[in-house]
Amino acid sequence: MPILFPRVRRRAAAAALLCLLAPAERRVHGAEQWREVKSAHFTVTSNAGQSDTVNLAWQLEQIRSAIATIYPWAKVDVSRPLAIFAVKDETAMKALAPEYWERKGGVHPASVWVSGPDQHYLAIRTDVLAESRGDVNPFHASYFSYVSLILRQSLERPMPEWFMRGLAGVLSNTIVRESAIQLGPPIPWHLQRIRDEARLKLSDLVSMREDAPMLRDGDGLSRFDAESWALVHYLMFADGGAHWGTLDRYVKAVFAGTDPQAAFREAIGNPDDLETPFRIYISRSIFSFRQVNVDASVKREGFAVRPLPPVESASRRALFHAAMGRPAEARAAIAEARKAGDAPDAFVAEALLLERDGKTEEAKAAYERATTAGAAIEYAYYRLASLLWVADASVETMQRVDDLLSQAIKLNVRDAWAYASLGEVRSIRGTPGDPMGMVRRALSLEPGEAHHHLRAASVLWRQKKWDEALVQAQAARELATSDEMRRHATEMIDGLSRARR
């Protein structure tokens, strides 16, 4: 019986996303003071005023609560940590994300979103937040990424791109007021685009695959996003919300295994029959949206606030720069952190930079220093475990891998990758207990991740539960998003078929 994936795959970094142009630059006076504001579900690192930072955390809590209320199936707590930075003005944003000011004629963002292998990062200008009074969220692009994360980890099966990007687009324009939350006010540039340009037929839109050439082209993707937003907006709000239930039925049908196009016809209708009402809808001048009350249980005064020691603020900025692919700024922040004191999280930033440069052994040594010093970044423990876990690892090494993965889970109880890996490690080692329980926890956190299903199949194979293992391997092949994963799943299915005989 083969040992699958002795070396755990690294989670890939995603590109930064940004949003609207920010107001004019403000000057910074005095020494930089960073603080931490922690609410029930978010931790914000800030050099802005305490009141502005607390208000940002409160708004994020409200958006999370609203999504959970409207879509009970949504897993609103992302499995990889979300590190939020609140910066006070354009100068502070430029220091955190300088690349946008280095581009001649480039956009100066009011918010920046980037995903590293360790965490997701969101940076927001609080002066823009305070000045926002209109019906367009100034951070809609970053919120689009946040909502997309929630959707992708919540769905048991891949959903078509029009649904994923359309729903994320609608929810990205969420406006939080003191007494109410506005979900889905119209996005004017999307409307302008689909009115001014020739649009796709709805039948072509809903059948578009994620590998379509249109979605690999910047202008084509923008056009696709505008039309997908408009279709989802229509299904959510047209005719007084009469179609809302059809969208919900569509999701349930796809979850149950129905082909997405067949599910669309059964739950929503024939796309061709929707052309006329959809055209009338997008040509109107007044649009509805949904308004819900704020979650009164979220109290600003209950948030924990503390000043950050220089070593912590510098380490966090080093990690952000590493995720942004800015080694010079990251190393400057690492040096600042080490000058201020013991900086285990700065070793994590250094390890990420070394891995980016292909210096695996040096990166492993940096992860060792970070974990030995007690780094607070769970990815350091997960990643070091994956680097130590090789096919011929000794008993002592496998025990170390077990310990590292256990610590990763202690630091982040939603780390699906650590749960899946720990389940397989304990299956290989024959550790007393229920290794499959660990993998099931991973599957509950990220049901659409093929890798976790393949882990489950591997553990079940060792337990000689052939039929259950085969179901998991088949699910892995169905959910695979790469040829490599599809090949591994197919090999597992073939091996299980032989083992059953």
pLDDT in tens, 468-480: 999 999 999 999 9
In angstroms, the Cα distances linking 50 to 24, 77, 479 are 22, 25, 44
The model's pTM: 0.87
Beta bridge partners of 29: none
Which of the residue ranges 13-17, 88-92, 110-114, 318-322 would you say has the lowest mean pLDDT?
13-17
Q: Mean pLDDT in the chain?
A: 90
pLDDT at 465 over 90: yes
For the cut 50, the answer to whether the pLDDT of residue 200 exceeds it is: yes
Lowest mean pLDDT among 196-200, 304-308, 449-453: 196-200
> In this predicted structure, which of 229-233, 253-257, 410-414, 485-489 has the lowest mean pLDDT?
253-257
Contacts of residue 498, defined as CB under 8 A and 6 or more positions apart, other chains included, come to none
Share of the chain above pLDDT 70, in %: 93
Q: Which whole-number Å values give the CA distances from 498 to 1, 2, 33, 453, 463, in the listed order?
A: 11, 13, 64, 19, 16
Answer yes or no: is pLDDT of 30 > 50: no
Q: Which two tokens stand for residue 239?
A: 């005719």
Query: What was the pLDDT predicted at 132?
Result: 59
Distance CA 417, CA 449 (A): 10
- Is the per-residue pLDDT at 441 higher than 60? yes
The per-residue pLDDT for 141 is 87
Angle between helices 466-479 and 483-500 (to 10 degrees): 160
Which pLDDT score, from 0 to 100, does residue 7 have? 31
* Nearest alpha-carbon partner for 343 in 319, 307, 379: 319
The count of other CB atoms within 10 Å of the CB of residue 108 is 19
- Other CB atoms within a 10 A radius of the CB of residue 397 amount to 14
Continuous segment of H or E residues that includes residue 87: strand 82-87
Q: Is the pLDDT of residue 29 over 50?
A: no
Higher pLDDT, residue 13 or 454: 454
Q: How confident is the model at residue 424 (pLDDT cuts 50, 70, 90)?
A: very high
Which among 351, 375, 373, 353 is positioned nearest to 364, based on CA atoms? Answer: 351
The confidence band for 402, taking pLDDT boundaries of 50, 70 and 90, is very high
pLDDT average, residue stretch 374-385: 98
> What pLDDT, on a 0 to 100 scale, did the predictor assign at position 131?
60
Give which of 390, 356, 334, 428 is closest to 5, Cα–Cα: 390
Residue 169: pLDDT band with limits 50, 70, 90: very high
The answer, yes or no, to whether residue 15 has pLDDT greater than 50, is no
What does the alpha-carbon distance between residue 119 and residue 284 come to, in Å, rounded to a whole number?
A: 42
**Per-residue model confidence as pLDDT tens digits over 170-192:** 999 999 988 899 999 999 999 99
> Does residue 22 have a pLDDT over 70?
no
Which residues, including other chains, have CB under 8 Å from residue 499's CB and lie 6 or more apart?
1, 461, 466
- Segment 418-422 shows an average pLDDT of 97
Residue 321 pLDDT more than 70? yes
Q: Are 227 and 199 in contact (CB under 8 A)?
A: yes
pLDDT tens-digit map of 258-301: 999 999 999 999 999 999 999 999 999 999 999 999 999 999 99
Q: So what's the pLDDT on residue 436?
A: 97
